Amino acid sequence: MKIGFIGLGNMGAPMAANLAAAGHAVTGFDPAAPCPEGVTEAASVSEAARDAEVVLTMLPNGEILRAVVAEAIPAMSPGAVLCDCSTVDVESARTVAGDAQAVGLLALDAPVSGGVGGALAGTLTFMVGGPEAGFATVAPLFEVMGQKAVHCGGAGAGQSAKICNNMILGATMIVTCEAFALADKLGLDRQKMFDVVSTSSGQSWSMTSYCPAPGVGPQSPADNGYAPGFAAELMLKDLRLAQDAAAMVDADTPLGRAAAELYATFVEAEDGRGRDFSAMLPRFEGRGRT
Ligand code: NAD
């Protein structure tokens, strides 16, 4: 397939490289990052998008996505698919989908879970919103870059699924960390805490697959000095997107809001930036009730 790939950062570069290694003709553009091996470098967004059957984007935020899409759309041919894999606000996802549709393109929002490790290994999960025909076209590419793609519904459904998932994750990680810190103060051994909770009704992915306590449970960033993993500032980004979406549709999300506020404090006023999002545990360890 002839693919344009725009945004070759930490995630985009390995995704583009995997597509090229699978035999696709990939033309890439990024104003700052180098082109990975096997990908032909373009001099602009429109050059990367021209004549592509699928244009993939992997960009930092909705504002940049809107600007890139405005440049890509005139270069694309009717029937081609514009597939954004970035994590952006639901409103931007719906706006760019509407703009693309208006000129006969198919648009998908397809944010991912799995991080840089998943991008390198080709084991990402894609959550996809947009028309069935677009999903069918891009499905073989999702298979190269990932292990699972779920078609969630119409435009914006992929971003909606992503932020709801990460709102659950952020709140669950916080409460798992505060429970470990409480257990410490109650004199409960961390391994016993894990043994009980991981097989009881308090269990979650944060406990069983990504345990924030070093030396307990499976290998996780806690065992590596809380080097990310999934950085606290990326969790903050997703929690803010969830709050933006909640405001847009007037949804009451008290725990999501509290999680966003706590990660904002951790990242912007404390030492959370650049640390894994599970480093909430050492944060709570050092604190009392006020
Ligand atoms: P990154 O900052 O490493 O990469 C973004 C790239 O976009 C940069 O190389 C930048 O130069 C490029 N870019 C900026 N403006 C551009 C433009 N006008 N045209 C072309 N390229 C442009 O970020 P990343 O870690 O690769 O993340 C990309 C997206 O994936 C984000 O939306 C992020 O939230 C999401 N995501 C990241 C992770 C992760 O673990 N890193 C996990 C899941 C989702």
Q: Which atom of ligand 1 is nearest to the CA of 228?
A: 40
Atom of ligand 1 nearest to the CA of 12: 26
Q: Which of 21, 20, 25, 17 is nearest to 1 (CA)?
A: 25
Give the mean pLDDT of 14-34: 98
Mean pLDDT of 149-167: 98
Confidence of residue 290 (pLDDT cuts 50, 70, 90): confident
**What is the pLDDT, as a whole number, of residue 142?**
98
- What does the pLDDT look like over 202-238, one tens digit per residue? 999 999 999 999 999 999 999 999 999 899 999 999 9
Instruction: Write down the pTM of the prediction.
Output: 0.95
Q: Would you tell me the crossing angle of helices 232-249 and 157-185 to the nearest 10 degrees?
A: 120
Q: Is 148 a catalytic residue?
A: no
Total count of residues recorded for the chain: 290
Sheet strands (E) in the chain: 2-6, 25-29, 40-41, 54-57, 81-84, 106-109, 112-113, 124-129, 146-153
Model confidence at 245: pLDDT above 90 = yes
Q: Which listed residue (2, 148, 162, 192) is catalytic?
A: 162
Task: Report the range of poorest mean pLDDT among 6-10, 36-40, 286-290.
Answer: 286-290
d(CA 137, CA 247): 34
Cβ(57)–Cβ(7) below 8 Å: yes
Tell me the helices (H) and strands (E) count for the chain, helix number first. Answer: 12, 9
**DSSP state letters, 120-184:** HHT-EEEEEES-HHHHHHHHHHHHHHEEEEEEEESTTHHHHHHHHHHHHHHHHHHHHHHHHHHHH
What mean pLDDT comes out for the span 33-43?
97
For residues 271 and 170, is the Cβ–Cβ distance under 8 A? no
Render pLDDT for 57-107 as a digit per residue (tens, 0 to 9).
Answer: 999 999 999 999 999 999 999 999 999 999 999 999 999 999 999 999 999
Contact 140, 166 (CB under 8 A): no
- pLDDT given for residue 257 in this prediction: 98
- On average, the pLDDT of the chain sits at 97
Ligand 1 touching residue 12 (CB < 6 A) = yes
* 240 CA → ligand 1 middle, Å: 17
| Residue 268 CB coordination number (10 Å) | 11
Summarize pLDDT for 176-190 with one digit per residue, the tens: 999 999 999 999 999
Choose among 120, 108, 149, 174: nearest CA to 11: 120
Pocket perturbation via mutation, ligand 1, pick of 8, 11, 89, 127 by most ligand atoms within 8 A of CB: 11
Instruction: Kindly tell me if the per-residue pLDDT of 127 is higher than 90.
Output: yes
Ligand 1 pocket, 38 CB below 6 A? no
What CA–CA distance (Å, rounded) separates 117 from 227?
Answer: 13
User: How far is 114 from 236, CA to CA, in rounded Å?
Assistant: 17
Is the pLDDT reported for residue 1 higher than 90?
yes
* Spatial separation of the C-alpha atoms in residues 4 and 46, rounded to whole Å: 9
Q: What number does the ligand 1 atom closest to the CA of 115 have?
A: 40
Q: Tens of pLDDT along 3-19?
A: 999 999 999 999 999 99
